[in-house]
Amino acid sequence: MISTLPRQSPSPQGGGDQPAISLRGAALSFGSRTLWQGLDLDIMPGEFFAVLGPNGSGKTSFLKVLLGLQQLDTGTALIEGRPIARGSRTLGYIPQQKSFPPDTPLRARDLVGLGVDGHRWGVRLRSSAYNARVDGLLRDVGAESYADAPVGLLSGGEQQRLRAAQALATDPAVLLCDEPLLSLDLHHQQAVSSLINRQSHEKNSAVVFVTHEINPVIEYVDRVLYLADGEFRVGTPEEVMTSEVLSDLYNSPVEVLRSNGRIIVVGLPDATTHHHESA
């Protein structure tokens, strides 16, 4: 994607605002390997925060901590000033694209509806408010035209829009995205990333966007957390995405080129394994 738009400046963060996400002295290890430690970080409402790094650097684990699915080894993590509670309504989550089997008994609207009340017990008894909410969400992500189509027959990009709608159902204060653009074509990458951007810069949610490829969202990103080899750097893309900083992080010469708003990183140690995410 070639972007000539100027990057939006970080949203104004009102003086008395408390951070949406706050980490202090956070450390996490995987077996005997330290993924990251001594991480102090405040992510403000309205901020589009990208998490970058090679495979196994702990990007996904970082999200799992925020989701409450993984415990920090040391340190604290707060969301809106409170300890993280699994399944909190203040969190939205968009996972990696994963296709549904063709005979899944759900239409697009039913999938979005799971985000509205799928966690509640019992069967749905009153449906008018539910229907209105689902229609609104479908409209927000531009999915009205396939609202009644079976999810198993939709393209990966269409399914990912629905997952975005599902995640936005609670109008979350914090939106966590795990490689949401992976395996989407350019058109849907743009659509989904601009939707996520709207949630941060217009609706003032904090967005944490885990990705191995910054370019599709470069015009939206306010700050970057770059994880590599047990170390990390935090800052604006201009500060972090430089030859000097990345060479230092990787302990090997890495060259960062800029062309037409795009960032090209040359010489990454694991550049060939980018598409086999695991950690």
Partner 1 sequence: MDLQDVISAVFTFDNYAQLLPLVRNSLIAGAVLGLLGGLIGTFVMMRDLAFAVHGIAELSFAGAAFALLVGANVVAGSLVGSVLAALTLGLMGIRARDRNSIIGVVMPFGLGLGILFLALYEGRAANKFGLLTGQIVSVDDVQLNLLVGCAVVVMIALAAIWRPLTFASADADLAEARGVPVRGLSILFMVLLGVSVALSIQVVGALLVLALLITPAAAALKVTSAPGLVVLLSVTFACVSVVGGILLALGGRIPISPYVTTISFAIYLACRVISSRRSRRGSRRGTAGPAGTEPGRGVRRPASAPVG
Question: Using CB under 8 A as the criterion, which residues of the chain lie in contact with partner 1 when the complex forms?
Answer: 67, 69, 86-88, 91, 93, 95, 98, 100-107, 110-111, 114-115, 117-124, 143, 145-146, 148-155, 157-158, 163, 166, 185, 187-188
Minimum CB distance to partner 1, residue 117 (Å): 6
Minimum CB distance to partner 1, residue 165 (Å): 12
Nearer to partner 1, 58 or 237 (CB): 58
Minimum CB distance to partner 1, residue 168 (Å): 13
- Contact predicate 200/214, CB 8 Å: no
Minimum CB distance to partner 1, residue 58 (Å): 18
d(CA 37, CA 233): 12
Nearer to partner 1, 78 or 149 (CB): 149
Nearer to partner 1, 103 or 244 (CB): 103
- Contact predicate 163/195, CB 8 Å: no
H/E stretch holding 133: helix 128-140
Return the bridge partners of 34, or none. 29
Minimum CB distance to partner 1, residue 121 (Å): 6
Nearer to partner 1, 91 or 225 (CB): 91
Minimum CB distance to partner 1, residue 220 (Å): 21
Task: Give residues with Cβ within 8 angstroms of 87, minimum separation 6.
Answer: 68, 119
Minimum CB distance to partner 1, residue 8 (Å): 25
What's the first-to-final CA gap in the chain, in angstroms?
27
Task: Give residues with Cβ within 8 angstroms of 8, minimum separation 6.
Answer: 201, 219, 220, 222
Nearer to partner 1, 152 or 267 (CB): 152
Return the bridge partners of 227, or none. 232
Task: Give residues with Cβ within 8 angstroms of 130, minimum separation 6.
Answer: 113, 116, 117, 124
Minimum CB distance to partner 1, residue 196 (Å): 16
Q: DSSP string spanning 203-249?
A: T--EEEEE-S--GGGTTT--EEEEEETTEEEEE-HHHHSSHHHHHHH
Nearer to partner 1, 14 or 187 (CB): 187
- Determine the residue type at 215: N
Q: Identify the residue whose tokens are 């010489």.
A: 267
Nearer to partner 1, 151 or 221 (CB): 151
Nearer to partner 1, 60 or 242 (CB): 60
Strands (E), 135-181: 174-178
